[in-house]
């Protein structure tokens, strides 16, 4: 049995959790900086770094308190070392190194995107969701869509620490497209949850936005075309003095993005002989994406899995889960561990 303390500071959440054996969440503390960054319409890296410095010690302390554990019960410290914003990453990495050294606890470096994927293994007795964990947990191999504010990938998860990228975006990330369209229709930051909510009142077939594919790989994505089509639609209406139905714009845009995300992922799973598809990353919190992926996957005879909502956006539990699998595979970081802002999936 191993208790892993996971530390996540790659963007705008200071998050720490204790997870047992990569699955059982013992504590999960998230301090979100969103209200601070909302003032500026997006994440300001210097402010994010400063907030992490101010909060990290309190968040670690609270995670241990909620787990009712002392340092001698922690078997390893897992920390995100990339990808992400360099300043924020450095706060987590240097804190984790100092603690590992002072408390003489093994240190494991975790890739943030692999962390998002490992959120699929988490079980939380306190939370319940209609979709997650119904099948008693997921095991590799499976095809996973990882869609967040900075990344959109289709990843074949071959084993708990082995990943192969099957598809990627050529321009914007899916979450970035949600955030930009939200800003254009005046919804503010972060846009994803706001588009999700407004879209429920709109007609997804009201406006035909393009479902772009990219020539050289049938699994790759391009979201800048959809985003530009939305901006052109809004500008066109403004020039003609016409009022737009924002809910219809949100619903039609969201449907266009989700059609592409779901169809490419399911096709990749079928072509690679996978029996299960999974979701990960902040966009995996999208209610229509969750139901659409489930319906379309099951229609093709595939099993579907997604993390509980709280584990889709950035958190420490997913880092502890990924760290656990690295730890049992024997991987250790030393005190030279550095932040790598553009760390790639599968890179060690
Ligand atoms: O994984 P995450 O917390 O941070 C990154 O690693 O980027 O993802 C944040 C992204 C943002 O772009 C946010 O707008 C999007 O996930 N997001 C959503 C939803 N909740 C968060 N996008 C669509 N629908 C949602 N419900
Ligand atoms: Zn993330």
Closest CA to 6 of 321, 336, 328, 329: 321
pLDDT tens string 202-212 = 999 999 999 87
Query: Between these two residues, 130 and 287, which has the higher pLDDT value?
Result: 287
Token pair recorded at residue 299? 């229609």
Q: Which ligand number lies closest to the CA of residue 182?
A: 1
What pTM did the predictor assign? 0.95
Substitution site in 198, 281, 283, 314 for ligand 1 pocket (most atoms within 8 Å of beta carbon): 283
284 CA to centre of ligand 1 in angstroms = 8
74 CA to centre of ligand 1 in angstroms = 30
Residue range 281-294: mean pLDDT, rounded? 98
Measured in residues, the chain has a length of: 348
Q: Which of 36-45, 190-199, 244-253, 273-282 has the lowest mean pLDDT?
A: 36-45
Q: Is 254 exposed, middle or buried (0-12, 13-18, 19+ CB in 10 A)?
A: buried
Substitution site in 12, 114, 149, 291 for ligand 1 pocket (most atoms within 8 Å of beta carbon): 149
Q: Taking a C-beta distance cutoff of 8 angstroms, is the pair 312, 284 a contact? A: yes
119 CA to centre of ligand 1 in angstroms = 14
Task: Give the C-alpha separation, 71 to 73, whole Å.
Answer: 5
Q: Which ligand number lies closest to the CA of residue 319?
A: 2
> What pLDDT does 128 receive?
44
> What pLDDT does 69 receive?
98
What is the pLDDT confidence band of residue 217, given thresholds at 50, 70 and 90?
A: confident
> What pLDDT does 199 receive?
98
* Ligand 1 shell residues, CB under 6 Å: 11, 148-150, 175, 178-179, 190-193, 196, 281-283, 285-286, 313-314
pLDDT tens string 11-22 = 999 999 999 999
Residue 125 has pLDDT above 60, yes or no: no
Residue 292 has pLDDT above 70, yes or no: yes
Residue 135 has pLDDT above 60, yes or no: no
Substitution site in 14, 175, 191 for ligand 1 pocket (most atoms within 8 Å of beta carbon): 175
Beta-carbon contacts of 217 under 8 Å, excluding residues fewer than 6 positions away, are: 167
Closest CA to 172 of 163, 181, 184, 185: 181
318 CA to centre of ligand 2 in angstroms = 10
pLDDT tens string 25-47 = 999 999 999 889 988 888 899 99
Strand partners, 80: 110
> What pLDDT does 136 receive?
53
Neighbours of 164 (CB within 10 A): 13
Task: Give the C-alpha separation, 207 to 161, whole Å.
Answer: 42
> What pLDDT does 188 receive?
85
191 CA to centre of ligand 1 in angstroms = 8
> What pLDDT does 216 receive?
73
C-alpha to C-alpha distances, 317 to 14, 258, 284, 312, nearest whole angstrom: 12, 26, 16, 10
Q: Which atom of ligand 1 is nearest to the CA of 313?
A: 3
Q: Which ligand number lies closest to the CA of residue 152?
A: 1
Q: Specify the residue with its C-alpha closest to ligand 1, atom 14.
A: 192
Q: Which ligand number lies closest to the CA of residue 284?
A: 1
Q: Which helix (H) or strand (E) holds 280?
A: strand 276-280
Q: Specify the residue with its C-alpha closest to ligand 1, atom 8.
A: 282
Q: Say what the alpha-carbon torsion angle 231, 237, 243, 246 is, to the nearest 10 degrees.
A: -20
């Amino acid at each position: 049995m191993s208790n892993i303390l996971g530390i996540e500071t790659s963007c705008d959440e200071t998050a720490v959790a204790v997870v047992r054996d990569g699955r059982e969440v013992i504590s999960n503390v998230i301090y979100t900086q969103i209200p601070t960054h909302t003032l500026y319409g997006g994440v300001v890296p210097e402010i994010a770094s400063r907030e992490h410095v101010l909060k990290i010690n309190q968040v670690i302390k609270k995670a241990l308190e909620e787990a009712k554990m002392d340092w001698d019960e922690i078997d390893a410290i897992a920390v995100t070392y990339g990808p992400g914003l360099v300043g924020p990453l450095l706060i987590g990495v240097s804190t984790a190194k100092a603690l590992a050294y002072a408390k003489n606890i093994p240190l494991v470096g975790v890739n943030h995107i692999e962390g998002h994927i490992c959120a699929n293994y988490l079980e939380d007795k306190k939370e319940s969701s209609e979709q997650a964990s119904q099948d008693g947990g997921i095991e590799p191999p499976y095809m996973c869509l990882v869609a967040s504010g900075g990344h959109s990938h289709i990843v074949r998860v071959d084993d708990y620490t082995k990943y192969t990228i099957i598809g990627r975006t050529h321009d914007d990330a899916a979450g970035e497209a949600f955030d930009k369209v939200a800003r254009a229709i005046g919804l503010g930051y972060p846009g994803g949850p706001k588009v999700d909510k407004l879209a429920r009142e709109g007609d997804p077939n009201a406006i035909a936005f393009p479902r772009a594919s990219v020539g050289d790989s049938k699994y790759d994505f391009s979201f800048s075309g959809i985003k530009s089509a939305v901006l052109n639609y809004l500008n066109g209406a403004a020039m003609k003095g016409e009022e737009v139905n924002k809910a219809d714009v949100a619903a039609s845009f969201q449907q266009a993005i989700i059609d592409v995300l779901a169809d490419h992922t399911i096709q990749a799973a079928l072509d690679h002989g996978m029996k299960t598809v999974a979701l990960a990353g902040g966009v995996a919190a999208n209610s229509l994406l969750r139901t659409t992926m489930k319906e379309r996957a099951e229609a093709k005879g595939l099993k579907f899995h997604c993390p509980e909502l709280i584990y889709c956006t950035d958190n420490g539990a997913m880092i502890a889960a990924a760290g656990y699998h690295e730890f049992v595979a024997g991987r250790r970081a030393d005190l030279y561990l550095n932040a790598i802002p553009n760390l790639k999936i599968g890179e060690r």
